[in-house]
Structure 1
């Protein structure tokens, strides 16, 4: 997950090893490789952690009907039995056979360029640690449940999988153009907090929504937030909130529309956006058509 907090991540890491029974701490960047990936160390998870993951999974899965898009509901079945935290290697085997993607372990939030590089190689970074029971309802930064339940399922969808790779490649270019903040907004309002129109009404496809007990209901059914039809430049101009439910959501018509949005060269788009004022989260512009 790309987040503003990645600016604070440790730099200058070097590989280290652990003895039998030792557990790497949360955010243990010293054990990561040069590309910020690391071993999952699945055997280090306790029975209590596996049970916590199961309870998180069951709570979110029970809310999906009527709120999540059909593509996600179909894809989440690939995660397998929810009684324990999945092994990344096993999951990657199925994922690679379907869309040539893999799930790779990382210590936590990673720098933008490392994140983009992994996506461009069709490798999705999954945080290896799990939240504590006290964080059951809310966690400040992404954990293994958020990344696995929220992000990985749609990587089984060929269109969304290609969108994510294109986003990663675009991110590497954006970093050279000093435009990462603009591209981060696209990720935030699509991959994390995106909504989609369906014949049955609005549904969620964003990982930040789908892994949140409260925001899943709020994003689709609450009358409070504004829901704006997808517009690339509008999204890149719009600020977002990291400490509360979103004040704005952007709505796509299909996953194909999302993939098509990554096709143009963003260089002139970045230039055009910099010439315009930013838009506050929740703002509705004059004449703007909102999704119902």
Structure 2
């Protein structure tokens, strides 16, 4: 694991790099109040991410560790699955050590330092979400042993990256893939297109996802405590076995048992399914 951690070498970032960070930060911090979960907004303040420029990971880790025992380290890019899970299980968050170009403000395929730090790290200052991320890392190691990684990856995608939470009388965004994107921050809450479905672990694990477009479905949790308890209190081995006997679901599919907060316009063109292994 330690072999994948590299020096951040904060001095290698250029003035333009810091301008890109500040541009993205200003845009998202103005857009997210009233849209993002309260814990995310609080995390921005607790970790002093508004200081300007790409954060220096040593100082950021000191502030974060004081809150929940997590720290942020630089990695050269995507790390192997087992390394990633071991890092999360040890309360270490790996962050990319580059930032997008000015012409990539609205979309970047590979996660950069803005996605990783602005998108993920604020919630790591929340004690319950911090515990969830550690539990996910420990669960990832077990999933590798069980050959169930594709199913568990869906849990990360639909919570850590693209999750919604119900609070303050409405829906709020918390997934890093949403809060770091101006377009999806609006789309996830305001578009009539996607389905927004109450969190159900088995149903989520059956649902495929796409990485190159806005989401067709978002899963809504009631609280981070619900997410943590679902992870800690579930025996995943028999759940993986059961999911393996059931039909996979397309992102736009709607089940009769789904608790829909809003039903997307595209759902009328997709097949409405009943719970069935076929």
What TM-score comes out, normalization by structure 1 length?
A: 0.87
1:37-186 to 2 correspondence within 5 Å? Answer: 37-77=5-45, 78-186=47-155
8 Å Cα contact 2:35/2:185 also seen in 1: yes
Is 1:202 the counterpart of 2:177? The answer is no
For these two proteins, the number of residue pairs brought into alignment is 260
Give the SS at the match of 1:243: coil
Give the SS at the match of 2:192: coil
Structure 1 counterpart of 2:213? 244
Give the SS at the match of 2:87: helix
The CA deviation at 1:110 is: 1.3
8 Å Cα contact 1:60/1:213 also seen in 2: yes
Is 1:253 the counterpart of 2:222? The answer is yes
The CA deviation at 1:80 is: 3.0
Structure 2 counterpart of 1:278? 248
The structure with the largest helix share of the pair is 2
- Alpha carbon RMSD of aligned pairs, Å? 1.1
Partners of 2:254 and 2:123 lie apart in 1 by: 30
Q: After the TM superposition, which parts of structure 1 deviate over 6 Å for at least 4 consecutive aligned residues?
A: none
Structure 1 counterpart of 2:271? none
Partners of 1:129 and 1:269 lie apart in 2 by: 38
8 Å Cα contact 2:44/2:50 also seen in 1: no
Structure 2 counterpart of 1:290? 260
Tell me, which stretches of 5 or more residues in structure 1 are unaligned? Answer: 1-32
8 Å Cα contact 2:195/2:260 also seen in 1: yes
Distance change in 2, residues 1:290/1:35 (3 Å): farther
Deviations 1:143-196 (A, max 9, x none): 000001000000000000000000000000100111111000000000000000
Partners of 1:79 and 1:238 lie apart in 2 by: 36
Deviations 1:207-250 (A, max 9, x none): 00000010001001111100110000111100001000000100
8 Å Cα contact 2:57/2:73 also seen in 1: yes
Give the SS at the match of 1:270: helix
Partners of 1:84 and 1:289 lie apart in 2 by: 42
Give the SS at the match of 1:262: helix
The CA deviation at 1:106 is: 0.7
Partners of 1:35 and 1:152 lie apart in 2 by: 22
The CA deviation at 1:40 is: 0.5
Give the SS at the match of 2:103: helix
Partners of 2:237 and 2:224 lie apart in 1 by: 23
The CA deviation at 1:82 is: 4.1
Give the SS at the match of 1:104: strand
Give the SS at the match of 1:203: strand
